[in-house]
Structure 1
Amino acid sequence: MSGYNAVLARNTENAPAGIGPYSQTVAFSHYNNLSAQLPIDPKSGKLTAGGVKEQAEQCFKNIKAIVESIDHVMSDIVRITVFVTNIKAVDAVDEVYKTFFPTYVPTRTTVAVAALPMDALVQVEALVSNGEGTIPNAPQSGDLIKLTNNTANAPISALSAQAVSFSHYSNLSAQLPIDPKTGRLVTGGVKEQAAQCLKNIKAILESIDVPFDDIVKTTIFLKDISDMEAVNEVYTTFFPDSAIARAVAYVPARTTVEAAALPMAALVQIEAVVSYGDGTPPQLVEDRHGIIIEANNTENAPKDPLSTQTVAFSHYNHLSAQLPIDPKAGKLVAGGVKEQAEQCLKNIKAIVESVDHALADVVKVNIFLKNIADIDAVDEVYATFFPGGVPARRTVGVSALPEGALIQIDAVVGNEEGTPPIVK
């Protein structure tokens, strides 16, 4: 990359060192991407003693230490993701959560997964605003403001904002299939629930004057991965949403995984990351209008009609989760988790290179494993692609993955050149 926007990886001794080849936080442009924090005591390097409350508190203490080490505060967090191994533990986590966010609340996703590294009961991840930006020796608009939003047309929670915009992105809380009028799950099966999740997302976007087709990435958490085809039927009725998007067959990048359980015993939950072309004040006028979405697919990685391999907007590229599929054969590669991890990363590398970037531009990696015990084997392969351990990272064990894969990986990549209007 050029010296315009720099990938800035940082670590502090006041939070646990990574248990793999990754950094605690990686800043690029106006966001800090934090690695998911386990309940590890940074002094001992071991899990903190106690139950889920004590573990949740340690996770948040670690996040706070990282945030403060880069001269930020907890209210700069725009999104929190909570992973638990028992959905019934969420109430205990919430008690702790409230003490760290007594007034302002970020957007939030909560999901139960099959397993977490080190047999932890909880793991917490944060995305943090970075008002000063990452232009070396040339601070950007350090007084950029966050815009939080709630509408009565979507479910309201005291523990999370529906949308938090900062700079050129809006991050939405994961939407459950809750009817906002009744506050209860909609009746019916997974199709009806998927439709309600997407309706809620659409209502939130309309409340901030953002079109549905400005979504750049969705993450779908399913209670049963075999419901994916039914969800896809509904999904295609929402995407593409406009004549312009239909003309180019635009669909966002996407990740789909099976959750062990979801809040309120829902069958599906959907999270969205949205482009925000107007930016948040006081960005300069020339930085706030006409920025375009750039979607890209390459023959060198697997294609899916329901997702774009990478969607760039402003200074980020959001990649669809990559399965260990050989793009030539269209099938899972032979072998075990090492071979599958290598293919996932090869696919990511092919996509990144197809948009004239390099793996050194990757700021965040999310790894979903069928067996959490495979992480050491995965790290052997991972270190050959990221020898400096720069990207921030999240690793969770999931109940099942599409195609019966053992591993799935997605990534967020810096886009130094941005996406200005195309001049013909």
Structure 2
Amino acid sequence: MVGYNEVLARNTERAPQGTGPYSQSVAFSHYNNLSAQLPIDPASGDIVAGGAKAQAQQCFSNIKAILESIGHVMDDVVRISIFLKNLADRDAVIEVYKSYFPTYVPALTTVVVAALPLNALVQVEALVSNGEGTIPNAPQAGDLIKVASNSKNAPTDPDSTQSVAFSHYNNLSAQLPIDPSTGKLVAGGVKQQTEQCLENIKAILESIDVPFDDIVKITVFVRHLSDTEAVDEVYKRFFPDSAIARTVGYVPARSIVAVAALPLDALVQIEAVVSHGDGTPPQAVEDRHGIVIKANTTPNAPKHALSTQTVAFSHYNHLSAQLPIDSKTGERVAGGIKEQAGQCLKNIKTIVESINHSMDDVVKINLFLKHIDDIAAVDEVYTAFFANGVPARRTVGVAQLPGDALIQIEAVVANAEGTPPEV
């Protein structure tokens, strides 16, 4: 891979180590990708005693320790993702979260999952700005600033900021199907709720003068996997959005995740990662389409009509979540968790190599498991693809996966050369 940025993995003894073959923090260009933090006391290596509030405190303490070890502070966080075992714990966890962000709140996603590693009640993940960049011995625009934005045309929440931009990306809080005029869930079923989520995303983007087709990655959290077809029916009305996008048939990378519960008992919640062509000050203002979105699909990996396998923008590639599907047959591979994990990772490797990258360029992996106890078996396969343990990682248990799969894997990949006109 040609380019001057480097993947920079780091660990500190002040945060838990040895819980898996991954790094605590992996920086590339202007972002740090942190592994999801469990409520593990780094001194003992055990889950802390107490309920969800005590566990949330330890998760955020671990994040803070990691950030301080790499010369950053909590205010540099652009997105927080909270994974709960029980929805009833949300208020207690949010109380802890807000104590770490007294003046500024990042973009936020909160979901309830079927299970978490080590039977934890809470797990917290952070995406962090990296103003100095990762060019060796040459800081990149270290004075870049975050731009946090809210619009009255979309639901507001004191616990989160609708959109937090840094450098060439906007990170949106996951949108619930709330009507901004009433502050309540819209009436109707999953179709009406999906439409409201996407309308909220569109309103946020319009408020910051960003086209809807600048979305590079969508994550759809559904309460019932059987609702996917209804969600897709609405989704197709929003993507592609513009005449240019329709001409090339552009749709973002996408992941569908079945969760145990969502805030307000919603049926669907949608999260978006958005390109930001003009960057954040003091990056020079440029034509929004000067840095282009590069979408790529290879016939050698599974294809889906409503998602692109990988979408690159600036210095990152975002991949659609991969199921254990053999692209030659279009069917799930035979065998158990090891065979399925291997197929997911082979699909990722095929996609990454199709854009002239390697698995060493992967900065973040997200694992979704039908059975959380399969982690050890997955790691046996995983280490064959990531022998040096560099990518940051998140693992959650889900009740169901498409095609009755046992595992689904998502990846974020470094793109050192950037997208044109960067060099």
Q: Same fold (TM over 0.5)?
A: yes
TM-score, normalised via structure 2 length: 0.99
Deviation at 1:422, TM superposition (A): 9.7
Task: Provide the residue aligned with 2:177 in structure 1.
Answer: 177
Question: Given that residues 18 and 24 in structure 1 are in contact (C-alpha distance below 8 angstroms), is that contact kept between their aligned partners in structure 2?
Answer: no
Query: Which residue of 1 is the match for residue 226 of structure 2?
Result: 226
Post-superposition CA distance 1:179-211 (Å, at most 9, x none): 001000000000000000000000000000000
Q: In the alignment, which residue of structure 1 is the partner of 2:306? A: 306
Say whether 1:339 aligns with 2:339.
yes
1:115-155, CA deviations, whole angstroms, 9 ceiling, x for partnerless residues?
00000000000000000000011111000000000001000
**Residue 5 of structure 1: aligned partner:** 5
1:24-76 superposed Cα distances (whole Å, 9 cap, x missing partner): 00000000000000000000000011100000000000000001110000000
Alignment partner of 2:65: what SS? helix
Q: Deviations over 1:324-351 (max 9, x none)?
A: 0000000000000100000000000000
Q: What is the Cα deviation at residue 409 of structure 1? A: 0.2
Q: Distance in 2 between matches of 1:90 and 1:378?
A: 30
Separation in 1, partners of 2:342, 2:19: 20
1:284 Cα deviation after fit: 3.2
SS of aligned partner of 2:229: helix
The answer for the alignment partner of 1:201 in structure 2 is 201
**How far, CA to CA, are the matches of 2:311 and 2:173 in structure 1?**
20
Deviation, structure 1 residue 421: 3.6
Question: Which residue pairs with 2:290 in the alignment?
Answer: 290
Alignment-derived partner of residue 158 in structure 2: 158
**Residue 103 of structure 1 aligns with which residue?**
103
Query: Which letter maps to 2:310?
Result: T
Equivalent residue number for residue 45 of structure 1: 45
State the AA in 2 paired with 1:401: L
Tell me, in whole angstroms, the C-alpha distance in 2 between the residues paired with 1:219 and 1:19. Answer: 26
Aligned partner of 1:318 in structure 2 is 318
Change (3 A) 1:287 1:152: closer
Answer yes or no: is the 8 Å Cα contact 1:3–1:135 preserved in 2: no
Q: Distance between the aligned counterparts of 1:341 and 1:319, measured in 2?
A: 16
Verify the 8 A CA contact 2:108 2:174 in the aligned structure 1. yes
Q: Helix, strand or coil for the counterpart of 1:247?
A: helix
CA drift at 1:364: 0.1
Aligned residues: 423
Aligned to 1:349: 349
Quick one: distance in 2 between partners of 1:42 and 1:19?
Answer: 11
Amino acid at match of 2:206: E
| Structure-2 residue corresponding to 1:92 | 92
Deviation at 1:95, TM superposition (A): 1.0
Unaligned runs of 5+ in 2: none
Determine if contact 1:3/1:136 at 8 Å carries over to the other structure: no
- 2:337 partner letter: V
- Secondary structure, counterpart of 2:47 in structure 1: coil
The within-5 A match list for 1:238-249 is 238-249=238-249
Question: 1:365 maps to which residue?
Answer: 365
Paired residue type of 2:121? L
Aligned to 1:144: 144
1:26 counterpart residue number: 26
TM-score, normalization by structure 1 = 0.98
Q: CA deviation at 1:3?
A: 5.6
2:90 equivalent to 1:76: no
Query: What is the match of residue 129 of structure 1?
Result: 129
Give yes or no for contact 2:3–2:417 (8 Å, CA) kept in 1. no
